Structure 1
């Protein structure tokens, strides 16, 4: 289903939770050159709530309320604009408490119901994703603590180094851990405009090598160790906006399964970087936090005229209400059923000749 692209090749493993804070546990697996469980994924999280209700994993499906708006700062896709910006039709909403196993944080997924089953149809759409679906609200409860186990205990997880700007071999960078580990750098500092298409950036060998070296430096500073074969941190190239946004971004990830030399650890071949076509929820929350921090690399690029921060990405734009680094963002997104079936993998053992 993912078409071989890392942004769409993801797996969620869901089970009942023994944690009193949660109804279900959600283990995220990134599929690429191997399988990585180094980070979680906010986009897939939106589907965990409806799945848990549909599969009967929620012990108390009667714990529902009326559709409404969560308080506090939040991140809202542009899909919530025009028809989608209208409030969802009032109805029952199941609040599914989810523990993100990869990072230990929790979230509540508000799932619209009809007749006790998740509603899939709706007019909420997201730039970079096809079609539309029902309104799903995701509240993150403890994003700033998601890195606490992987950074020095004396430093805040939202700013792992304790500094707003760090020097990565002469390149200024803001290292953010508010949601997902991200290295924010100005696109011009690595010789690109930040407005290029994903394909053009992916075939830029000089940029690939530069991003790889910057990630290695950032990983050590963030307390993540050698990140040569890890999926985190991601790199966000920021640039002035080109349309009606406030900040233009390109999310770059060399991917996991690569050696420190930037080659595929299985084949030894040089690999291209991956430039995301859209923008994930956790990344949007982290970039919003960076942009709201005076003196950060992102803040210096922002052309902002309202409370919302509009982030331009290759497939469109996302509106962010930046939360403080210690805040609790809520994100409006969507999820819908695409396929329901069974997979039958080959059993372990030697392959038989036919």
Structure 2
């Protein structure tokens, strides 16, 4: 037996991602019940997600759940859900900084935050990581402005810039910047860096996998031998980082790192989500790589040193990362010049409101076989 239901929904683009934005109050309390709704409204279980609003790609199969926060330093809470395209699986474990770009505008649009003259700072608590982010939303005349001159790689056209400042990024899932206690681990005869800043990642020198690091996302996705090896490394890294069996989780995310192709960039990156190459790079992944640049001995640090991007034992506060669609620029603020003590990492994104209305979903009486990863407590 199938029952049709509906829920208020706003579809928004945040950074290089897109998906529905929902109020927590409109959803059931349990994550299992929430997941059933998300799987239906996104149309998971079909490559095109033809029976829902997902776009058949991990970047467009994302959901943001927002509600007024009880935290004294936050205005709203934001829970991110990565909805699997082909499988009935929802992962509440990672954060998504691109979708976060639209949380501030959504909070203002829905009356959760009162707009201020000029710029409205929306303080967000991410429930996936229990970390705080400041979103600086342009509100001239106390109205959200989506129009502007800011261009970000991976998104056509220009829009109003939204500054995101991530606070307290170290150890969001593992409690440590270097969860294994060292800058380099050897897994499958490959030297890797396991690091947790905004999100857990493992970094690999692309050259060590027989790659240049400048391959397109489609070229990397069409290399099954490399993908299989990278997944083996990822699963072992997950165990070493204290994340347990990560075969059903999207964390840690693998990142291939190589020397930049021009003088303006710090590093070249290829970021995986985790079994397909991101067509750009996740905001949280970019924060992790940018943080790693100044941490002595990491894969990112070694390559940056060899490329002449920083001096030995130096810190880099402005980092530009190449990715398949272009570049992303980040400002890393170190406390007292300490490379492992990060005050905040900031960057500019854009967002757009696409649709506001009611979305319909169906629930079957038969239980689904999805796997859930609980959010951080």
Q: Tell me the alpha carbon deviations over residues 27-83 of structure 1, each in whole angstroms, 9 at most, x when there is no partner.
A: 10011232111111111111000100110012xx26x4xxxxxxxxxxxxxxxxxxx
Is it true that 1:22 corresponds to 2:74 in the alignment? yes
Q: Distance in 2 between matches of 1:233 and 1:104?
A: 17
Contact 1:17 1:25 in 2 (8 A): yes
- TM-superposed CA distance for 1:206, in Å, is 0.7
Is it true that 1:212 corresponds to 2:264 in the alignment? no
Is it true that 1:326 corresponds to 2:330 in the alignment? no
**Residues 138 and 54 of structure 1: CA distance in aligned 2, closer, same or farther (over 3 Å):** same
Q: From 177, 196, 202, give the equivalent of 1:158.
A: 177
TM-score, structure 1 normalization: 0.79
**Residues 347 and 175 of structure 1: CA distance in aligned 2, closer, same or farther (over 3 Å):** closer
The equivalent of 2:141 in structure 1 is 115
Q: Distance in 2 between matches of 1:320 and 1:330?
A: 6
The equivalent of 2:38 in structure 1 is none
Q: Tell me the alpha carbon deviations over residues 280-301 of structure 1, each in whole angstroms, 9 at most, x when there is no partner.
A: 2211111011111122111121
- TM-superposed CA distance for 1:231, in Å, is 0.7
Specify which structure has the higher proportion of strand: 2
Contact 2:131 2:169 in 1 (8 A): yes
The equivalent of 2:97 in structure 1 is 42
**Residues 304 and 317 of structure 1: CA distance in aligned 2, closer, same or farther (over 3 Å):** farther
Q: From 180, 189, 192, give the equivalent of 2:208.
A: 189
Q: Distance in 2 between matches of 1:21 and 1:337?
A: 26
Is it true that 1:221 corresponds to 2:240 in the alignment? yes
- TM-superposed CA distance for 1:100, in Å, is 0.4
Secondary structure of the equivalent of 1:158?
coil
The equivalent of 1:250 in structure 2 is 270
Query: What is the 5 A alignment of 1:1-354?
Result: 2-32=54-84, 33=87, 34-58=89-113, 61=114, 64=116, 92-147=118-173, 151=174, 157-244=176-263, 245-254=265-274, 273-302=275-304, 303-305=307-309, 308-323=318-333, 324-327=339-342, 328-349=344-365
Q: Distance in 1 between matches of 2:60 and 2:280?
A: 11
Query: Root-mean-square deviation (CA), in Å?
Result: 1.9
- TM-superposed CA distance for 1:321, in Å, is 3.2
- TM-superposed CA distance for 1:140, in Å, is 1.4
Give the unaligned 5+ runs of structure 2: 1-52, 311-315, 334-338, 367-377
Secondary structure of the equivalent of 1:14?
strand
Contact 1:180 1:282 in 2 (8 A): yes
Q: Distance in 2 between matches of 1:337 and 1:179?
A: 26
- TM-superposed CA distance for 1:2, in Å, is 4.9
**Residues 318 and 39 of structure 1: CA distance in aligned 2, closer, same or farther (over 3 Å):** same
Stretch moving more, 318-327 or 92-101: 318-327
Q: Distance in 2 between matches of 1:304 and 1:283?
A: 23
**Residues 228 and 139 of structure 1: CA distance in aligned 2, closer, same or farther (over 3 Å):** same
Q: Which runs of 4+ in 1 moved over 4 A?
A: 304-307
- TM-superposed CA distance for 1:305, in Å, is 4.5
Q: Distance in 1 between matches of 2:297 and 2:83?
A: 36
- TM-superposed CA distance for 1:347, in Å, is 4.5
Contact 1:292 1:322 in 2 (8 A): no
- TM-superposed CA distance for 1:326, in Å, is 2.5
Q: Distance in 1 between matches of 2:273 and 2:133?
A: 25
Contact 2:202 2:254 in 1 (8 A): yes
- TM-superposed CA distance for 1:120, in Å, is 0.8
- TM-superposed CA distance for 1:99, in Å, is 0.8
TM-score, structure 2 normalization: 0.74
Q: Distance in 2 between matches of 1:345 and 1:142?
A: 37
Q: Distance in 1 between matches of 2:157 and 2:321?
A: 21
Contact 1:178 1:325 in 2 (8 A): no
Q: Distance in 2 between matches of 1:284 and 1:304?
A: 20
